[in-house]
Structures are given as C-alpha cells and as structure tokens.
Amino acid sequence: MRKYILSFALLFVLAALYAGAARAQVGEQLRETRQEFKQFRQAEVQEFKQRLEQLKAANQTKREEFKATVEQNRSELRTRVQTEREQLKEKLAAIKDERKKQIVERVAQQLNELNERQTNHLVQVLDKLDAALGRVGTRTDKAEANGRDISSVRTAISAANEAITASRAAISVQAGKSYTIAVTDEAGLRKVVGDARQTLHNDLSETRKAVKTAHDAVKKAATTLAQIPQVDELKVEPSATE
Amino acid sequence: MPELQTPQTAGKTIWIIVAAVIGAAVIAALIWWQFAQAPEAPVPPAAAPEVEAPAPPPAPPAVAPEEDTTTSIQQDLETVDLGDLEQEFKQIDADAGEL
C-alpha cells in the first residue's frame, strides 16, 4: 500500500512540475508572438505612411506640372489672340456697318474669354476629383492594412487615374486654343460668327465629356470602396515611436 | 505458487484503483488550470493593454487627419458641378443674333 502511495505522490509532483514548465513556455511563446505582431503592425503603419506621402507628393507634382503646362499654353495664346485681334480689325475695315463691326469684335473677344473661363473651371473640377481619388486611395490603403480584399478598388482607382490624366491632356490642349472669326464680307458675318461659336461649343463639349468621364470613374472607385464591409471604421494605428 | 487473493486484499486493490483514478483526475484538472491561466501571468504590464490577442486590435485615431470616409468622399463628389455650358453661350448667342 505504501509503495502505491509513494508512486502516486511522485507522479503528482512530476505532473505539477511539467504543468509549471509548460505554462512558462506558453507564456514565453505568447510574449514572442505579441512582440512579432507589434513589430509587424508598426512596419505596416510605417509602410502605409510612406506610401501615403509618396502618393501625395506625386499627385502634387502632377498637379503643378499640369498647371504649368496650362499656364504656358495660355501665355502663348495671349500673344496669338492679340495678333488675331489685329488681323480681325484689318478684315473688318471693309465692313461699313459700325454696329456689326463692334458686335463681331465683341463676340471674338467673348469666345476666347469663355474658353479661358471654362478651362479654368474644368481645372478646378479636376483638382477636386484628384483630391477625392487621393482620399479613396488612403481609405483603400487602410482597408488593405487591415487585411481586406481591395483588388477591385485598385482596378477602379487605376481607371480613374487614367481618366484624370486623359482629362488633363484634353484641358491642356483646349486651354491653348484660340477662336477667330474668318470675316469675308458683310453678308456672311452672321454665318462666320456662328461657325466660330459652334467650333468653341463643340470643343468645350468634348473637353467637358472627358472631365465627366473622369468624374464618373472617381465615383465608381468610391462606390466600389464603399462596398467593402465596415470600410469607414478601419484605421491604421500610429506607431509607438511617434 | 501464487498467493490467492482474499476478500480483504481484493477490497484494497479496488480502493487503490479508485484513488489512482481520482488522483489522475486531479492531475488533469491541475494541468488544465495551469494552461488556462498561462496567458495572463507572464505578460509584462506595458505590453498587455496594447494587444489582447494576435488579431487586429481596436485602433486609436487614424494616421491621416483628413476626412476620408466613403460617405464624405461621395458627398464631395456629388457637389462637383461642371456648370451649364448653354447658359455660358447665351450672351454670345444674343450678340450674334443682332448681326
């Protein structure tokens, strides 16, 4: 009987020792896992912030380059418009009706002013779209950092970026255009003024169409992003070192 | 020649088996308890509040200060207005009509 009791006591002590050792080991493993996880999260946050900064810088550069191009086109345009105005005056010298001459000159000026006003407005619209797409990108990065599937959003963002680039090119070209009225004789004034008006209208419609396409593409990217469950609640922790 | 078991020794054996089973159950319970307690005890206090388990924790404020919820983005996109081109041409059309 004593032999059994001693064996049982020995077994009990061994089991207790084993449980203590196992507990310490599990604790150590858990600490290591937590440490690794923390480091992984910090690296992810750092990467996310770097990507965000790079994206912002790239967008800023693109915007500045685009505005510089538009401004350069306008600068060249002003010289050209001035020359064309002088040429128009020479052609209008043959027209006897002073009122009609003034109307033609005024319309010629209005056409170029309207073009400048419209392209300025479209540049502002494009800036807004670009900013909105940047925010879609930021939110997408957060979703990605939280392990969500964002492939369809990335595709939509890429398409929107292409549409914005195409719009920029269209606006840049449009901003460099001038509109002249090809005066021949007094009888044909109405027609040539109408032709110039229609040319500007067609050109602006095409440019606006490109911007509208970009608008739709950005909206689609935002809608695709919104379909990710609880995407607005996802966040990225700032790292502990900052 | 093997000893024959008397009723007394047979009773002792039964008690020993019962004691062994109870002992094994106590040991199993002890081991289970030790494992169950393990996650709480050895973790340093500084690390504990940050991560409860290896899954995405509830996060503090976002890195980007700007409002980038899909609702606000979509609201902003709704306010984008290309304007009315025909309205812009009204003055030109009126002047051209006088020719």
Residue-wise pLDDT for A5-21, tens only, equals 677 677 777 877 877 77
Q: Which of A39-48, A162-171, A211-220, B12-21 has the lowest mean pLDDT?
A: A39-48
Q: Please tell me the predicted confidence (pLDDT) of residue A34.
A: 86
Q: Return the pLDDT at B73.
A: 95
> Chain B residues with CB inside 8 Å of A236's CB?
59, 62-63
Q: Which residue of B38, B57, B66 is in closest CB contact with A135?
A: B66
Q: How far is it, in rounded angstroms, from Cα A122 to Cα A116?
A: 10
Question: A1: pLDDT confidence band, cut at 50, 70 and 90?
Answer: low
Does the pLDDT value for residue B62 go beyond 90? no
Q: How far apart are CA A137 and CA A153, in angstroms?
A: 9
What value does the mean pLDDT of chain B take?
71
> What confidence score (pLDDT) does residue A9 get?
73
Cβ within 8 Å, pair B70-A139? yes
Residues of B in contact with A106 (CB under 8 A): 95
Confidence of residue B58 (pLDDT cuts 50, 70, 90): very low
A128-152 pLDDT, tens digit each: 999 999 999 999 999 998 989 999 9
In this prediction, residue B4 carries a pLDDT of: 54
Asked whether residue A236 carries a pLDDT value surpassing 50, the answer given is yes
Percent of chain B's residues with pLDDT above 70? 62
pLDDT higher than 50, residue B50: no
Q: Which residues of chain A make contact with B51, given a CB cutoff of 8 A?
A: 34, 37-38
Answer for the pair A54, A134: CB distance below 8 angstroms, yes or no: no
Band of pLDDT at residue A240, cut at 50, 70 and 90: very low
Q: Is B84 an interface residue toward A (CB < 8 Å)?
A: no
Q: How many CB atoms lie within 10 A of CB A119?
A: 23
B90 touches chain A (CB under 8 A): no
B39 touches chain A (CB under 8 A): yes
Whole-number percent of chain A with pLDDT over 90: 57
Q: Which residues of B touch A20 (CB under 8 A)?
A: 34
Residue A71: inside a domain, yes or no? yes
Burial of A54 (0-12, 13-18, 19+ CB in 10 A): exposed
Helices B90-97 and A189-226: crossing angle in degrees, nearest 10, is 170
* Res. B52: pLDDT tops 50: no
Note whether residue A238 is domain-resident.
no
Q: pLDDT exceeding 90 applies to what percent of chain B?
A: 29
Put simply, whether A199 touches B (Cβ < 8 Å) is no
At residue B34, does pLDDT exceed 90?
A: no
Residue A194 lies in a domain: yes
Return the ∠ at Cα A205 (arms to A199 and A211), rounded to 5°. 140
Q: Residue A104's pLDDT is what? A: 95
Record: contact A193-B99, CB cut-off 8 A: yes
**d(C-alpha B94, C-alpha A110), whole Å:** 12
**Domain assignments of chain B as residue spans, ordered by start:** 7-49+66-97
Kindly report which listed range (A29-33, A98-102, B6-10) carries the lowest average pLDDT score. Answer: B6-10
**Chain B interface includes A121 (CB < 8 A):** yes
Q: Which residue of B has its CA nearest to A129?
A: B77
Number of domains in chain A: 1
Q: Of chain A residues 8-37, which have a CB less than 8 A from chain B?
A: 8, 11-12, 15-16, 18-20, 22-24, 26-28, 30-31, 33-35, 37
When pLDDT is averaged across residues A49-55 and rounded to a whole number, the result is 77
What is the radius of gyration, based on Cα positions, of chain A?
A: 34
Of A32-46, A89-103, A189-203, A227-241, the range with the highest mean pLDDT is A189-203
CB contact under 8 A, A35 and B35: no
Query: pTM of the predicted model, to two decimals?
Result: 0.66
Range of the domain at A198: 2-233
Structural tokens at position B28: 């199993």
Give contacts of A114 with chain B, Cβ < 8 Å. Answer: 88-89, 92
Is A50 near chain B, with CB under 8 Å?
Answer: no
| Residue A239 belongs to a domain | no
What is residue A240's DSSP assignment? T
Complex ipTM over 0.85: no
A98-131: pLDDT as tens digits: 999 999 999 999 999 999 999 999 999 999 999 9
**Which of A26, A30, A132 minimises the CB distance to B73?**
A132
pLDDT value at residue B38: 56
Does the beta-carbon distance from B80 to A111 stay under 8 Å? no
pLDDT value, residue A237: 63
